[in-house]
Amino acid sequence: MDLATILQVLDSTVRLSTPLLLACLAGLFSERAGIFDIGLEGKMLIAGFFSAAFAFETGSVWMGLGAGILASLFLSGIHGLASITFRGNQLISGVALNFLASGLTVLIAQHWYGQGGRTPSLMGGGRFEEITLPFADALRSVPLIGPIYADLISGHSILVYVAFLMVPATWWILFRTRFGLRLRAVGEAPDAVDTAGVSVVRLRFAAVMICGVLCGIAGAYMATGLQAGFVREMTAGRGFIALAALIFAKWRPWYALTACLLFGFLQAIALRFQNIDLGGFTIPVQFMDALPYILTVVILAGFIGKAIPPRAGGEPYVKER
């Protein structure tokens, strides 16, 4: 492959890994606090619909982003209420949210627009535009460095840069702040946190809300940045892929970046190369499309290596009298 083709594949990798990375970091905050969240898929889906719908109605992509975040926060509130306040089963709550988002988005979209569960195409101010970084055009003619900077690093929407900046931000919050120390402690030993006079419920709700914000950004990016509108079931399992990436990363932000880039690269390869020929044997395109999901199954089955989740993960906290 020549440099131009490699850069095209890597550019697609960055774009496709962005929603995965945001959802993976969302799950990281939630699960580090001891709240397992299977509902990442549903939050991204409902955020994608409302962001596209509001962006179309108002003509402002920022209004769409706000609507998507609020919709995701609404589902996060339900999940927090069910799993923290009422101490329900966290996995069942997450699955229920996925079903709710899947049905609700199609129902409302069909009622509002009558286009089979999709929104009208977004144009102009209804979409996030690509940002050209400083000196990108001037450096384009510089061998190797110029094309990498101009064609790979530059030319993405603002949410792509937000997603990648969230990796060091997440690391700093979790491992360099008092809030992050307490958040991680809640996922490991909530009774010790409670004994120290810190509210376990408040910290877990804070983690769930952060998860909702990041999922809202991920869904909004898919509908207003990656694509030009909402399409029925447009997340296509990305929430579950993000969960697999989180397990693969062993609940660490920098490893999460690597894992999401790997999944994004597999998706980019599947889109860029159809029916790959390996010395007379042709790999069917269906197999390439299924590669990210196959890797997800492999990771969740434990073949990559043992991943130890937070010790109090999935368990409701009952305060001792």
Sorting pLDDT into bands at 50, 70 and 90, what band is 27?
Answer: very high
pLDDT at residue 50 in the model:
97
Mean pLDDT of 290-316: 76
Sorting pLDDT into bands at 50, 70 and 90, what band is 229?
Answer: very high
Give the per-residue SS3 of 110-154.
HHHHCCCCCCCCCCHHHCCCCECCCCHHHHCCCCCHHHHHHHHHC
Mean pLDDT of 171-196: 93
Percent of the chain with pLDDT over 70: 94
Residue 118 one-letter amino acid? R
Rounded Cα gap, residues 294 and 239, in angstroms? 15
pLDDT surpasses 80 at 282: no
- Encoded tokens for 14: 């960055």
Q: Please tell me the number of Cα atoms within 13 Å of 67 on its side-chain side.
A: 22
The more confident residue out of 77 and 268 is: 77
pTM of the entire structure? 0.93
Lowest mean pLDDT, pick from 11-20, 111-120, 290-299? 290-299
Q: Is the dihedral of CA 24, 26, 27, 32 positive or negative?
A: positive
Boundaries of every domain in the chain: 18-130+144-238
Question: Computed over its alpha carbons, how large is the radius of gyration of the chain?
Answer: 20
pLDDT surpasses 70 at 303: no
Rounded Cα gap, residues 236 and 145, in angstroms? 35
Helix runs in the chain, H state only: 3-32, 40-58, 61-80, 90-113, 136-139, 145-147, 158-176, 178-188, 190-195, 200-221, 238-248, 253-272, 285-300
pLDDT surpasses 70 at 280: no
pLDDT surpasses 80 at 262: yes
pLDDT surpasses 90 at 306: no
Sorting pLDDT into bands at 50, 70 and 90, what band is 267?
Answer: confident
pLDDT surpasses 80 at 297: no
DSSP conformation class of 304: S
pLDDT at residue 3 in the model:
81
In contact, 255 and 81? CB cutoff 8 Å: no
Lowest mean pLDDT, pick from 53-62, 64-73, 110-119, 137-146? 137-146
Mean pLDDT of 238-250: 90
Sorting pLDDT into bands at 50, 70 and 90, what band is 222?
Answer: very high
Sorting pLDDT into bands at 50, 70 and 90, what band is 276?
Answer: low
- Encoded tokens for 294: 């196959």
